[in-house]
Chains A and B, each alone.
Chain A
Amino acid sequence: MADGLNKSAARNIFYGGSLFFFLLFAALTAHSHWYMVNTSTDSEGLTDSVKHGKEVWEKNMCINCHTILGEGAYFAPELGNVWERYGGHANPEAARAGLEAWIRAQPLGSEGRRQMPAYDLSDADMQALIDFLEWTDGIDAQDWPPHPSG
């Protein structure tokens, strides 16, 4: 420890520096918020159904098995790009039907395979959830993930 630095100088550097970096961080966060709303996400497309889909996602706590944009439990596949994986860019109707059929088919009950529980979603909840996954796929996430495999 430099002899030139005494305790009160160290304290002042701590308080002053922390405040500086906090203000910088807060400003960049504010800009990022603005950027997300205006550039990287589809604010127009954030319909009531997409919003409800996020609620369905949360109500069933999907995050504690799956990941979404890489955050979650790593136990089950990434769903941030599941819309792409199901071919939603080329054929949205088929992707929608495929996702619904997959969720409705749970639990698969195949021995030795991780098992997704059955979720008894209403038709409206199901469509909203898929709308939410479709909307999430549209987030400009700097080309992440590297492959459609998620």
Chain B
Amino acid sequence: MKYETQKVALPFFMVAMALFTLQVVFGLLAATVYVWPNFMAEIMPFHIMRVSHTNLLIVWLLIGFMGSTYYLMPEEAERETHSPTIAYIQLAIFAFAGAAALVGYQFGIHEGREFLEQPFWVKVLITISFLMFLFNTSMTLLKGRRTAINLVLMLGLWLAAVFWLFAFYNPSNLAVDKLYWWWVVHLWVEGVWELIMASLLAYLLIKMTGVDREVIEKWLYVIVGLALFSGLLGTGHHYYWIGAPSYWQPIGSIFSTLEVIPFFAMVVFAFTMFWKGSRNHPNKAAMLWSLGCPTVAFFGAGVWGFMHTLHWVNYYSHGTQVTAAHGHLAFYGAYVMLLLGIITFAMPALRRVQPYNQILNMWGFWIMTSAMCFMTFTLTFAGVVQTHLQRVLGMNFMEVQSQLGLFYAMRLGAGIAVAIGAAMLLYAFFGPARQQVPAGGTQLTAGPGHA
């Protein structure tokens, strides 16, 4: 660690991983209800498990983004973080707000729009914390070196905050409500979060491959350009069936098909830089995540997204398990794997040791990633059967669901495997640092600060 204040990232990563663990637990509970419908029906109905599962994901990803920003900003800006104190305070506020929302959900305290269920005062606390974060990191950037990486990253984070403000707008007209709800949901995950993703990926590649910054940053601008050119009008694929005009059908189909391109570009980018790279970085596990993230994002977000994005396909598949399949692999590939990669990369420096527990980490990678793929396949099969029975033949929803038991059982099995992989990974992060890569050798040219 070249800059002392990079260490503020550590508590962010610890909180993020704690919430990730809970997210997996609530996911397992919900998957169990799909198999045994009366499971916990009286104590914790399905909707409470589901809101906890999705909200924990969102909160830990945001905390992970913040931790990643605190870790890389000093290196990129070549100066210490403006105020570590602000960082700790805003983390405390954010973690408190997230925990309060989670506890509140168990007692039925919530609002009622999907993913935006946080009570009003929790939304306010989240906003305050995020603005403190933006102030703190922007001050660091303003006083330091500006690179494509930290500029694109901060742009993504600022825009995420701007679009978040639509969470406070809840019109009584359901169609209008949905129109702007997507300004938060889509413009985050298929828009400005891709700026965050691409810039963090570019950072990892600069650090680990040693490829020239000019080359990597040019790629970065091309990728984020492709992401926004396609992703903004790509929102149209959510506007097919909510009472919006019919022109969204061609616009949404064309532009959301183009959304595959930036994800494919990220795969080519990561692998090209990997092969061009002259540096043999000792953190093999972090390199694995850095290549795995764009690959799985390409399949989960790109291929699985394309599969049901054309409006004449979506007419039948909209709101079935096909959507659930896509959602799981897209989030896992694009954002979960990205943050696990950043944490894998940063932990040795934060713990002031050489890269450690690499084999266990990579086992975690393969088990979790294979299990998430398997889960996605089972949900896809369930979705295809559901689409045919319910949307083509017109069978009743509950009757159709009773035909899907096998897929839901396999999904629960996949979920258990994800939990095992996650447990191995967490132990690799936070457990005793056995099996360190020996100091010296390639490590001499490879640590942070040598890019």
Contact = CB atoms under 8 A, between A and B. Distances in A.
Interface of A: 1, 5-7, 10-11, 13-14, 17-18, 21-22, 24-25, 28-29, 31-33, 35-37, 40-41, 43, 46, 50-51, 54, 57-65, 67-78, 107, 111-115, 117, 132, 135-136, 139-142, 144-150
A149 B51 contact: no
Interface in B228-249: 228-229, 232-233, 235-236, 239-249
Given A37-B176, A40-B245, A114-B33, 4 more contacts: A75-B46, A107-B41, A144-B240, A144-B315
The 7 tightest CB contacts between A and B, nearest first, are A58-B112, A70-B319, A64-B47, A147-B394, A10-B221, A144-B241, A14-B225
Interface in B197-230: 214-215, 217-219, 221-222, 224-225, 228-229
A132 B173 CA distance: 10
A17 B241 contact: no
A140 B117 CA distance: 27
A29 B247 CA distance: 11
Contacts of A14: 221-222, 224-225, 228
Contacts of B34: 75
B112 A149 contact: no
A69 B46 contact: no
Taking each of A58, A64, A71, A111, which has the highest tally of chain B beta carbons within 10 Å of its own beta carbon? Answer: A64
B438 interface: no
B222 A64 contact: no
A11 B148 contact: yes
B50 interface: yes
A43 B229 CA distance: 34
Taking each of A37, A78, A114, which has the highest tally of chain B beta carbons within 10 Å of its own beta carbon? Answer: A114
B436 to A, nearest CB: 37
**Size range of the chain B interface in the assembly:** 35 or more
Contact of A43 (B173, B221, B321, B390): B173
Contacts of A50: 172
B233 A24 contact: yes
B50 A75 contact: yes
A58 B319 contact: no
17 contacts: A1-B215, A11-B221, A13-B221, A37-B173, A54-B172, A58-B112, A58-B113, A62-B112, A65-B50, A70-B318, A72-B114, A74-B320, A115-B41, A117-B41, A139-B242, A142-B246, A147-B394
Interface stretch (B334-342, B396-404, B424-432): B396-404
Contacts of B247: 28
Interface of B: 33-34, 37-38, 41, 45-48, 50-51, 110-114, 117, 148, 172-180, 183, 214-215, 217-219, 221-222, 224-225, 228-229, 232-233, 235-236, 239-249, 251, 315-316, 318-321, 323-324, 390-398, 401
Given A63-B113, A148-B394, A114 B401 contact: yes
A71 B175 CA distance: 12
B397 A10 contact: no
B46 A146 contact: no
Contacts of A150: 390, 397
B172 A61 contact: no
Given A35-B244, A78-B397, A65 B218 contact: no
B228 A17 contact: yes
A55 to B, nearest CB: 8
B319 A78 contact: yes
Nearest to A139: B243
B241 A74 contact: no
B28 to A, nearest CB: 15
